Structure 1
Amino acid sequence: MIILTRKDLDELLKAEIAVSSVKEAFKLHYQKKVDQPQRLVMSVKGNWWGLMPSSTDYSFVTKIVNVIPENKERGLPLVQGVVILMSPDTGEILAIIDGTTLTAIRTAAASILSTELAINGRNIGILGIIGAGTEAYYHAKLALEYFKVQKLYISARKSHFELAKRVGGEATDLETLLKNSDTIFATTSSNFPVVLGKYLKDVFHLSSIGAHTPDSRELDDDTIIKVKSYIVDSLEAVSKESGDYIIPKQRGLLENKMIKELGEIIEKGIKIERPSLFKTVGIAVEDNITAHIAYQEALRRGIGFNVSI
């Protein structure tokens, strides 16, 4: 058994590998080649916790993950987690993996994949990232590795100056970011909309990874109205978990839009018409395949700390 740390994952899961991993994950999900029960969600001391098991021909994976807003004040990532990778054949524990970093990398990779499919290429113009936490950092890091970016804007309530300096972007206010960005990654823990449609360009692609509870929103109604293509990781998941899907659907705002899962778009080569939105709450198969690929790469390259139990 090996232990893979944040540093190990940064080395193993470069943008090309990470995006390829989640692409395979979404294909398997669409092809129904993954056993993926709905995640168990609990409230622990008022905070969101999730248990996410999944099984493929490659591996069995369980992730324990949480979102702790108070961690901002503690200087810790909002999202904490651990991933356990096991053999589906022998039941052996193969790896224990830093779930915080794996989650951030596979989520950023999914945003990047949706963007590449939406624009049909890698020249994404001006990129705006809303948020300044761990997810925002990995969205910036992987996007700059993967895409040709004309300019990178970062906006948040605080810490965006530090993140902008770290990744080579420009800290700005939210309105400027929304008005000027061709591609937007919303990576916040906000319960209220931060993406305001009145400021958005006529043509854009947006990936929203926040608002993972039925009553929370990261996008306002004006944004939803503008969108022509509404892409999701899992229709079942967003229909039960995200206010950015549930509330607009209740209000009749999703009528006459193309609504598709990312896996179907990949499998069938469906064209995405912009303005487009990718709404993701995260599904277990992303962790499964990304963990499996990281483990295989670690064995090949001799990375990770070997332990026996």
Structure 2
Amino acid sequence: MIILNSKDLEEVLTPEVSINAIKDAFSFYSSGKIIQPQRQVLTIKGNWWGIMPSYTDFSFVTKIVNVIPSNKERNLPSVQGVVILMSPDTGEPLAIIEGSTLTAIRTASASVLSTELALKRRSIGTLGVIGAGMEARYHLKIALKYFSVSKVLISARKNHYQLAKEFGGEAVELEKLLRESEVIYATTSSDKPVVLGKFLSEDFHVSSIGAHTPNAREIDDETIKKAKTYFVDSIQAVLNETGDFIQPKNLGILPKNVYEIGEIINKGISIERPSIFKTVGIASQDNLTAYVAYNEAIKKGIGIQVFL
């Protein structure tokens, strides 16, 4: 068994590797090649916790993950977690993997994949990132290595000046970001919309990774009404977990084109823009990413060997 820490994951999960793993994860999910029971969600001391099991013919994975917003005051990532990879054949533990970084990489890879599918190219004019936490950082890390990006705008309540300096972007007010960005990544813990349709151009792609409860929103109704395609990681998951899908569905304002991203991949569906991708995160992403990370680490001799 090996242990993979954050540094190990960054070394083995290059953008090409992680995005291909996520593409397979969504394809497997929508074609029924992966079994993932609905995750168990707990509220512990007022914070969200999830237990996410899944298995394929070649991998069993369980992730325990939480979102602790007050960790920002402790200088800790707001998302904490651990991933356990086991063999479905022998039952052996194969790897224990640091969950915060794996979650950030697989989530950012999903946003980047959605962008490539929506734009049908590997270049972005102006990329806008809303938020300045760990997820925002990994979205920038992966997107800027995978795409040719002309300009980066970053907006957040705080720390976006530092993030902009780190990635060669510009720290701006939210309205400017929304008006000028071709692609927008919403990576916030806000429960009120930060993607406001009245400011958006007529051609945009939005990937939203926040708003994990039925009452929370990152995307407002006007944005939904402008979109021609709304695609998601899992119809079942977004129907249960996010106000960004539940509320506009109840209002009858979802666009006619609503898909799972795995369906788009498997059937070669062409996405009409403006487009929205909503991801709440599903276990298949963790499964395939953990499995690929493990195999890459074994090939490269990375990680700490532990003998039980």
Pair in the same fold by TM > 0.5: yes
Equivalent positions of 1:48-67 (< 5 A) are 48-67=48-67
SS in structure 2 opposite 1:70?
helix
Aligned to 2:79: 79
Deviates more, 1:200-209 or 1:166-175: 166-175
SS in structure 1 opposite 2:77?
coil
Aligned to 1:161: 161
For the pair 1:278 / 2:277, whether they are aligned, the reply is yes
Aligned to 2:267: 268
Equivalent positions of 1:14-93 (< 5 A) are 14-93=14-93
Equivalent positions of 1:57-136 (< 5 A) are 57-136=57-136
SS in structure 1 opposite 2:69?
coil
Q: Distance in 1 between matches of 2:202 and 2:72?
A: 34
Matched AA of 1:68: I
Equivalent positions of 1:195-206 (< 5 A) are 195-206=195-206
For the pair 1:300 / 2:299, whether they are aligned, the reply is yes
Q: Distance in 2 between matches of 1:28 and 1:35?
A: 9
Aligned to 1:259: 258
Q: Distance in 2 between matches of 1:168 and 1:51?
A: 37
Aligned to 1:139: 139
The TM-score with structure 1 as length reference comes to 0.99
For the pair 1:215 / 2:215, whether they are aligned, the reply is yes
SS in structure 2 opposite 1:218?
coil
Q: Distance in 1 between matches of 2:298 and 2:19?
A: 20
Aligned to 2:183: 183
SS in structure 1 opposite 2:135?
helix
Q: Distance in 1 between matches of 2:129 and 2:307?
A: 41
1:166 CA displacement: 1.6
The TM-score with structure 2 as length reference comes to 0.99
1:30 CA displacement: 1.1
Matched AA of 1:70: S
Matched AA of 1:182: E
Aligned to 2:289: 290
Q: Distance in 1 between matches of 2:7 and 2:13?
A: 10
Matched AA of 1:273: E
Q: Distance in 2 between matches of 1:131 and 1:183?
A: 14
Instruction: Give the fraction of aligned pairs with identical amino acids, expressed as a percent.
Output: 64
SS in structure 2 opposite 1:38?
coil
1:123 CA displacement: 1.1
Q: Distance in 2 between matches of 1:79 and 1:168?
A: 25
Aligned to 2:193: 193
Q: Which runs of 5+ in 1 are unaligned?
A: none
Query: Residues 164-203 of structure 1, C-alpha deviation per residue, up to 9 Å, x if partnerless?
Result: 1122211111111000000000000000001100000100
Aligned to 1:232: 232
1:257 CA displacement: 2.1
Query: Residues 72-109 of structure 1, C-alpha deviation per residue, up to 9 Å, x if partnerless?
Result: 11111110000000001100000000100000000000
1:307 CA displacement: 1.0
Q: Which runs of 5+ in 2 are unaligned?
A: none
Tell me the matched-pair count.
Answer: 308
Q: Distance in 1 between matches of 2:64 and 2:14?
A: 23
Q: What value does the CA root-mean-square deviation take over the aligned residues? A: 0.6
Aligned to 1:2: 2
